Amino acid sequence: MKKRVVLAYSGGLDTSVAVAYLTHEFDFEVIAVAVDVGQSEDFEAIRQRALDSGAVEASVVDCKETYAEDYLSKALKANALYEGRYPLVSSLSRPAIVKVLVEEAAKLNATGIAHGCTGKGNDQVRFEVSIRALAPDLEILAPTRNWNMTREESIDYAKSKGVRVPVTKEKLYSIDENIWGRAIECGILEDPWNRPPEDVWSMTRVSQDDPTEVIITFKSGIPVALNDKEMSFLEIISNLNSLVGSYGYGRIDMVENRRVGIKSRETYEAPGALALIQAHKDLEAVTLERDLAHEKIRIEPRIAELIYDGLWFSPLMEAYSQFVDSSQKYVSGEVRLQLSPYSCIVNGRKSPYSLYDYNLATYDASDSFNHSDAEGFVKIWGLGISTWAQRQKGV
């Protein structure tokens, strides 16, 4: 009996060639699984393309809801931004996709999982580490990494096996997309000085629209309504993607450090994600006690690194998640965002659990702060400094 392998199938050139390669060179039965994490694709066409490429079975698994509920919600609660800027669009989808593949492999008695990542990127790391975490016994196959073909050669290989390839030799960019945003790389973008041409963007557009406001309601760190209309987290992300994207906000152009040691120029657009993270951070500013807020800000970059580095399923991530979840208990309330061309700013926030105390903060007559308490506090706070100044400074 032939061995069966589940392939993470995207419908693109590499995974289409991978179907043929695993079938012809390794004698596997390939089961193609396309996971819908919100990329704008014709999934029926993708499924058909997998079968045309030689897959014995092909299916599409819609995991958008789970992706939002189990993955994006954690990223949002942690304000996860890699190197302070990138909301981890591709990094978050890989563990979600792997979870589906592992379940499919168990259902279909497959002995291995294959992916179409190259050897230079981060995605291979995320796929393989996640597979090893969830199903250590499964074999991992990375045909694209091993076959040593240039793009042109793989197109020719595909043709020789009768596989219709979805791209021409002049393909412009490598694009990865899901509901948290879009990553666009390669082509003219490989020179970091080149301005991204307007055609790289599709979620954001040039805008001259009049400013507008949108109110996001959060409950324990998760958005639950837009302008008072209750919606699922997934619906909120998708509504914000269109609204915020229509103002041209959410574009990122950066050179980032890949896990494999390469600096790479990346462009992203993530209008909904960036608007939500901004609003969430702002609500935390009024609801988190000072030390908790500061501690959380210290670990957020570490959480982003773990996600980026493929360690979503890891004991450290699990421990950090519990810290983050516990911090979110009172992160409930409303944040108002003002949108105008290329801009999205917070211009108001409120919460039933707000620690902002008007009577303490005000400089008017209702001030309840005891000013005389401050004198002794400040003296003791600076005691070490005054001792140092008297004894050593200038000696």
Shortest spacing between CB 279 and ligand ARG, in angstroms: 23
Residue 281: partners with Cβ closer than 8 Å, 6 or more residues away: 79
Shortest spacing between CB 185 and ligand ARG, in angstroms: 5
Letter for the amino acid at 277?
I
Per-residue b/e over 281-318, b at no fewer than 16 CB within 10 Å? Answer: bbbbebbbeeeebeebeeebbebbbbbbbbbbbeeebe
Retrieve residue 169's tokens. Answer: 């030799």
Considering beta carbons, is residue 3 or 85 the nearer one to ligand ARG? Answer: 85
Identify whether 94 is a catalytic site residue: yes
User: Other C-beta atoms within 10 Å of 210: how many?
Assistant: 8
Contact indicator for 15, 101 with CB cutoff of 8 Å: no
Shortest spacing between CB 249 and ligand ARG, in angstroms: 20
Considering beta carbons, is residue 5 or 307 the nearer one to ligand ARG? Answer: 307
Shortest spacing between CB 329 and ligand ARG, in angstroms: 30
Considering beta carbons, is residue 66 or 267 the nearer one to ligand ARG? Answer: 267
Contact indicator for 4, 19 with CB cutoff of 8 Å: no
Residues that bind ligand ARG in the complex, under the rule CB under 6 A: 90-91, 122-123, 174, 176, 183, 185, 266
The rounded Cα 50 to chain-centroid distance in angstroms is 27
Shortest spacing between CB 176 and ligand ARG, in angstroms: 4
Identify whether 14 is a catalytic site residue: yes
Residue among 10, 14, 90, 176 flagged as catalytic: 14
Considering beta carbons, is residue 253 or 334 the nearer one to ligand ARG? Answer: 253
Angle ∠(255,258,261) on CA atoms, nearest 5: 110
Considering beta carbons, is residue 59 or 91 the nearer one to ligand ARG? Answer: 91
Order of strands, sheet of 343-350, starting from the edge strand that comes earlier in the sequence: 229-230, 222-226, 212-219, 333-340, 343-350
Contact indicator for 176, 40 with CB cutoff of 8 Å: no
Retrieve residue 335's tokens. Answer: 């944040």
Residues annotated catalytic, as ranges:
14, 94, 123, 174
